[in-house]
Amino acid sequence: WAMANKEGSHWEEEDQYLAALCCAAAGSEAGLELLIDKACKKWGKVREELTLALPSLRSDDLTQRLIERFGNTERQAQVDCLRLLSLCGTPASFPYIKPLLDSGDGSIKKAAINACRGIVENLPPLGDISVFDSIELAKKWKERL
């Protein structure tokens, strides 16, 4: 990562991203900022790769840092936080996630459900789900947390 991120480096952005993925998969936060940036800007394109790499960084410390950084009341920040927590969050995030399962915003509710799935069952995020299914899944997760 030091070579990829070195000032004056001729590494392309994609190469830096791949180096950051390797670092994360090996348990190093060295390229984490780049991965967070990609997750926030291009979730649909990088989700599968991050699903493989970020669980190696799962910790209460990182969970708390993500909540402090993104867990405000702005909708997209909450969705970004929940998406990241689904991959590297711990049960320490449940007090943050549980109220969001009641959100009237479908994208927040779905992201909260996926965060629970990732943290508790180590399952990948769900794709499209109906409003009815999201309500039922949210109820089940609230009972479990």
pLDDT in tens, 110-140: 999 999 999 999 998 888 899 999 999 999 9
Please tell me the total count of domains within the chain.
2
Residues 49 and 91 in one domain: no
Residues 47 and 80 in one domain: no
- pLDDT per position as a tens digit, 132-143: 999 999 999 999
Residues 81 and 123 in one domain: yes
Predicted pLDDT at 6: 65
Contact call for residues 112 and 101 (beta carbons, < 8 A): yes
Residues 38 and 22 in one domain: yes
Query: Which structural domain, as residue segments, surrounds residue 18?
Result: 1-57
Residues 14 and 27 in one domain: yes
Kindly write down the DSSP assignment for every residue of 51-83, as one continuous string. HHHGGGG--HHHHHHHHHHH-SS-HHHHHHHHH
Last residue of a domain, one of 57, 81, 97: 57
Predicted pLDDT at 52: 94
Residues 33 and 100 in one domain: no
Residues 31 and 81 in one domain: no
How far from each other are the two terminal CA atoms of the chain, in whole angstroms? 37
pLDDT at 15 over 60: yes
